Amino acid sequence: MNDEEYLKNIGKNIVKIRQSRDMKQIDLASRLDMEDSSLRRIEKGRVNSTILMLKKISDALGVELMQLLK
């Protein structure tokens, strides 16, 4: 898997977990204190997020960080 595919996969994992919790993108963005457009770029795999941001996202979703990375 190349870098671009890996980032897209992380984004898909975020979307899948967020939707399984019946959470809208704007709700998660609000929990993260970020613009929903920034979250959208992460979910689409267009941004190489820091590990700290991914940890913040996993905490907001109530999952272990590794669930986003697999």
Using alpha carbons, list the distances in angstroms from residue 9 to 30, 33, 47, 52: 23, 23, 12, 18
Place of tokens 């399984």: 20
Q: Find the Cα–Cα–Cα–Cα dihedral 61, 62, 66, 70, rounded to 10°.
A: -50
Show the domain range for 39: 3-69
The CATH number linked to 48 is 1.10.260.40
Domains in the chain, number: 1
pLDDT per residue as tens digits for the range 16-59: 999 999 999 999 999 999 999 999 999 999 999 999 999 999 99
pLDDT of residue 34: 96
pLDDT of residue 66: 97
pLDDT over 90 at 1, yes or no: no
